């Protein structure tokens, strides 16, 4: 797999011969393997945290709707 590398900006796999990443447009400057992996994992952690927070907010909203409905029926605690 010497013909591909990982974009140090967006973390997507691109062909090594590309001068710019087709996904994000960042110039393809190959840093060391360790810094690429660190950047990719850092971006992954941020995305996972954002997704987790989004799911929590959706769950909280649904719980609030259910509680409102129960209050209207006089079934709440």
Q: Using an 8 Å Cβ cutoff, are 49 and 43 in contact?
A: no
Output DSSP code: residue 62: H
**How confident is the model over 22-76, as pLDDT tens digits?**
989 888 766 556 666 777 788 889 999 999 999 999 999 999 999 999 999 987 5
Prediction pTM value:
0.49
Query: Range of 30's domain?
Result: 4-73
* Total number of domains constituting the chain: 1
């Amino acid at each position: 797999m010497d013909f591909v590398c990982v974009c140090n900006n967006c973390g997507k796999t691109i062909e090594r011969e590309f001068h710019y990443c087709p996904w994000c447009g960042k110039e393809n400057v190959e840093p060391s393997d360790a810094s690429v992996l660190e950047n990719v994992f850092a971006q992954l952690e941020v995305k996972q945290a954002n997704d987790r927070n989004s799911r929590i907010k959706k769950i909280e909203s649904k719980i609030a709707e259910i509680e409102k409905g129960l209050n209207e029926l006089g079934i709440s605690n």
